[in-house]
Amino acid sequence: MDAVLAARGLRKVFPDGTVAVDGVSFEAGRGLTVFMGPNGSGKTTTMRMSVGALRPTAGEVEACGHRVWGPEGWRARACMGYSPQDAPFRDRLTALENLVWYGLVRGIPLGEARRRARGLLELVGLEGGASKKVAELSGGMRRRLAIAASLMGDPEVLVLDEPTSGLDPGARLHLWRLLRRLAGERAVVVSTHIPAEAEEHADRVYIFHRGRVIAEGPPASLIERHAPRARIVAEGSMPERPPSVAGAVLVEWNPGRAVYATSDPDGALPALVEGLLAAGARLERVEVRRPGLAEVYLALTGEAPAGVSGGG
């Protein structure tokens, strides 16, 4: 991977002594890179240091070949677009007017800013809301407007902090499809506290825990390396003695339920069902539960990956 955005040894200690980020390194090239972890794990602080919004206590960040905190940091910042969790908009202005304002702040001439703003509203599916005041937009529309604003400078790197937070499932799916499209042309770095989102959409995942990156890689690779084995759960009336099944280990057995662990659920499932029926079981339901990134996080930290409120 050719990294467009890279950080080495990032550390942030706040004046009260809180260590928010402790030695984080990452690389992001073209595609979709996801920072995954519960709120408070260091994702937001890492992003803010990476885009030049918060000075690190230690470490370096390079974007588009320039050091973010070096003498030509403005060049690095110019090649990035950033959307925080609560992007600042002027509620009394329309969606189009807000985008034009963002363009003017970036030094884009008025006519060009208007042209880009209209094109970006169409790209994110907000052309119908161009004349609506921001105060009238739904949460999902505001999220899409924030992405459009971060794209006004046509950046090579797009950094988005929790862009799907607070959205309903339909709006989240729409937004991820948009991000997937954008990632075909640039480096897109997104944070989320929802493991299923990272698992489904990311090319590469960095798992954060207490200010550190504890694992990184493609989702499938992380699951293969760190997740517990799949479970086959059978429910119904079970016989007195559990059958032995090749490639599966019994982990739970009672009169109404049997649970086996296996590394090959597709291969073990037919043998397990056959063994249970031959032993006299009357099955009502059989389910394969495959592990995901949530199980990876739990296995690595002993903590649930989501459900903690507050900033990251």
Q: What is the pLDDT of residue 26?
A: 98
Q: Please state, in angstroms and rounded to a whole number, the distance separating the CA atoms of residues 151 and 7.
A: 22
Alpha-carbon distance of 164 to 151, in angstroms, equals 17
Last residue of a domain, one of 187, 210, 225: 225
Same domain, 154 and 280: no
Note whether residue 295 is domain-resident: no
d(CA 5, CA 85): 20
The pLDDT of residue 87: 83
Tell me the average pLDDT of the chain: 92
Instruction: Determine, yes or no, domain membership for 310.
Output: no
CA separation, residue 53 to residues 47, 143, 262 (Å)? 8, 20, 47
112 and 13: one domain? yes
How many angstroms separate the CA atoms of 297 and 215, rounded?
Answer: 9
Distance CA 55, CA 73 (A): 12
- Both 255 and 212 in a single domain? no
**C-alpha–C-alpha distance, residues 311 and 117, integer Å:** 30
The strand ranges marked E within 75-211 are 80-83, 157-160, 187-192, 204-209
Tell me how many domains the chain contains.
2
Give the pLDDT confidence score for residue 1 in this predicted structure. Answer: 59
> Do residues 96 and 66 share a domain?
yes
243 in the same domain as 197:
no
Residues 155 and 269 in one domain: no
The pLDDT > 90 percentage for the chain reads 78
Indicate whether 25 and 124 sit together in one domain: yes
* Domain identity same for 271 and 201: no
pTM of the model: 0.86
Mean pLDDT (whole number) for 271-285: 95
The CATH number of residue 126's host domain is 3.40.50.300
Report the pLDDT averaged over residues 178-190: 93
* pLDDT reported for residue 308: 38
Give residue 127's pLDDT.
86
Q: From 225, 241, 258, give the residue that closes a domain.
A: 225
CA distance 220 to 121: 34
Return the bridge partners of 58, or none: 11
Model pLDDT, residue 306: 60
**Position 307 in a domain:** no
Q: Output the CA–CA distances (angstroms, integers) from residue 103 to 98, 126, 150, in the order listed.
A: 9, 17, 10
pLDDT over 70 percentage in the chain: 97
Is residue 81 predicted with pLDDT exceeding 90? yes
pLDDT at 311: 42
The β-bridge relationship of strands 80-83 and 157-160 is parallel
Q: 107-122, pLDDT tens digit by residue? A: 999 999 999 999 999 9
261, part of any domain: yes
Q: Would 217 be classed as within a structural domain?
A: yes
The mean pLDDT value for 32-57 works out to 95
Q: How many CB atoms lie within 10 A of CB 258?
A: 27
pLDDT above 80: residue 304: no
81 and 211 co-located in one domain: yes
For residues 66 and 124, membership in a common domain is answered with yes
Q: What is the mean pLDDT of residues 198-206?
A: 96
**Domain membership of residue 111 as a residue range:** 5-225
83-138 residue pLDDT tens: 998 888 998 999 999 999 999 988 999 999 999 999 999 988 888 889 999 999 88
Q: Residues 48, 164: one domain? A: yes
CA gap 147, 124 in Å, rounded: 8
Is residue 308 domain-resident?
Answer: no
* pLDDT classification of 307: cutoffs 50, 70, 90: very low
Q: Classify residue 305: in a domain, yes or no.
A: no
Which of 225, 258, 277 marks a domain boundary? 225
- Does the pLDDT of residue 293 top 80, yes or no? yes
Q: At what angle do helices 293-301 and 219-226 cross, to 10 degrees?
A: 50
What average pLDDT does range 156-170 have in this prediction?
A: 90
pLDDT of residue 250 exceeding 60: yes
Whether residues 221 and 264 share a domain: the answer is no
Residue 80 lies in a domain: yes
